[in-house]
Structures are given as C-alpha cells and as structure tokens.
Structure 1
C-alpha cells in the first residue's frame, strides 16, 4: 500500500515523514551533542551527513520515526530543563560567528529550524489535500477551475514583469 506521508511531493524529494525524521535528528544533535549530552538514539556523525535523515527508508515505519521524534523531544526537554540558559555549548558545524554558543542561542536556532520545516510541512499538506488556510473545517474546497484561473493570472503577471 502506498503511504502518502513518505512519498516525495516536491522535486527535491521533500516528504512529510522525512521532515519529521530530519527535525528529530536536528534536535537530537543540538540538544544532545552540542551540550555533551549525546542522544540515546543512534545518529550518524554530523560530518557524514548525506541527507539520509530527510526520508524514510523501506524498513523504517512511520511509528518508528514518530517514536524517534518523541524520544528526541523528551531528551531535548531534559537538556533545556537541566541546564541554565547560559550553559555553554559547542557546535562544530557552525563556521561563523564560531562554534561556541549558549543554550539560549541554540534554542532560538532550533525554533527557527522548526518554524521553517513546519512551513515546508504545510506546503506538502496543501499539495496532498488541496486545501489552504489554517483550519480545514472552516474552509470549503477550492474550485479547481477557479484555482487554475488564479494561477494563470499570477503566471501571466510574472511573464509580463519579465518583459519590462
């Protein structure tokens, strides 16, 4: 059976389950390795990152990846709760302004990562279910003919602007 959550929906291969796996891996690294509190989950070395955290392999189930994220956020919460906001950390993959940082800066950074990937997930959801907006129960399905006309209008404006 075809599973929509792991299917690539964009030309980059982006998929919902891969986003969950990626966000879990990012959090595991930042709230684990950076503060010398390694994740209890096995992770590849950051130097060996090959994009494998952005999609689900054939033998990984949705429940396994969601479980990985749940265990990761418990570990992240423990790091945040047990350390002070000015606790020092070391991010070896940060070139500038340098790898030395504090817990508060990492929290802000990871929040930004999560916000960005939540936006990606929302776009994927729109591609999957055809809906836009915040609450599907308050929105009627968009008329495909009206949607196509609207998109054509935007495309025409883009073409016309290129001629100017």
Structure 2
C-alpha cells in the first residue's frame, strides 16, 4: 500500500475520499457486532467493532510516520510478532521491495 510515481496527488486524495465515504456508510449502516472478513487476516473472524479498533490503533501508530524512524533504529515493524504482522518474504524479497519503494521515493525528490 504505497503510491507509485504514476499516481498523482489528486489520485491518492480521491482514493482516500472514496474509502472515507465507504467507511462512513458502513459505520452508519451496520451494527457494531456485524461480522466481516479481512482478506489478508486469513480466516480470523472479525466484527465491525474489531476492525474499527484496529484502524484507530493503526492511525495512532502511523500518524506522522514517526514509526519509520523507530523501525529503522530497532528493525521491528508492527505491534505483534513479525510472523503475524507483515508479509512473509526472504531477505532477497525484502531487499527488492525496499529498493522499489526507495526508487519510487527518489522519483518524487
């Protein structure tokens, strides 16, 4: 979940607004204990309440992206065991992924 060099600021903000509108309708329409699923959480049963709490925790964690500095210092990502929290990949996969992110960031510099 990162912006590519081909995506404009307006594209990214537009996506945010569409996601925001969808979330508003979901929260207004469904009961707090409505069951749901999150594709990358595999078969973990969730409710709207669970997802809302998770999103609040993520916003808190990533606000200002100060966690990037901490991640660079201690190498830990997320708030759970890495095996539960991030995409699984070997060292080569992560090196390639990091290079793609850095290459995209350099295009904007």
Which of 104, 109, 113 is residue 58 of structure 2 equivalent to?
Answer: 113
The alignment's TM-score, normalised by the length of structure 1, stands at 0.37
Contact 2:61 2:67 in 1 (8 A): no
Question: Partner of 2:19 in structure 1?
Answer: 72
Alpha carbons 1:88, 1:100 under 8 Å: kept: yes
In 2, the alpha carbon distance for the partners of 1:78 and 1:61 equals 26
Task: Report if aligned partners of 1:92, 1:99 keep a CA contact under 8 Å in 2.
Answer: no
Counterpart for residue 58 of structure 1: 5
Gapped regions of structure 1 (runs ≥ 5): 1-52, 125-164
How has the CA–CA distance of structure 1 residues 122 and 66 changed in structure 2, closer, same or farther, with 3 Å as cutoff? farther
Q: Which structure carries more helix by proportion?
A: 2
**Shift in Å, 1:66:** 0.9
Q: Distance in 1 between matches of 2:8 and 2:66?
A: 19
User: Structure 2: 5+ residue runs without aligned partners?
Assistant: 70-109
For 1:57 and 1:86, the matched residues in 2 are separated by 36
Distance between the aligned counterparts of 1:113 and 1:94, measured in 2?
Answer: 15
Q: CA deviation at 1:58?
A: 2.1
- The 1:67/1:80 distance shift into structure 2, 3 A limit, reads same
Normalised by the size of structure 2, how large is the TM-score? 0.54
Structure-1 separation of matches of 2:11 and 2:39:
28
* Distance verdict in 2 for CA 1:67–1:88, change over 3 Å: same
Change in CA separation of 1:60 and 1:116 when aligned onto 2, cut-off 3 Å: same
**Among 32, 36, 40, the residue aligned to 1:89:** 36
Q: Say yes or no: does 1:104 pair with 2:70.
A: no
Q: Quickly say closer, same or farther: Cα 1:121–1:65, change in 2 above 3 A.
A: farther
Match of residue 72 from structure 2: none
Distance 2:15 2:31 in 1: 25
Which structure 1 residue ranges, 4+ long, deviate > 3 Å from structure 2?
121-124
Measured in 1, the distance between the counterparts of 2:49 and 2:41 equals 16
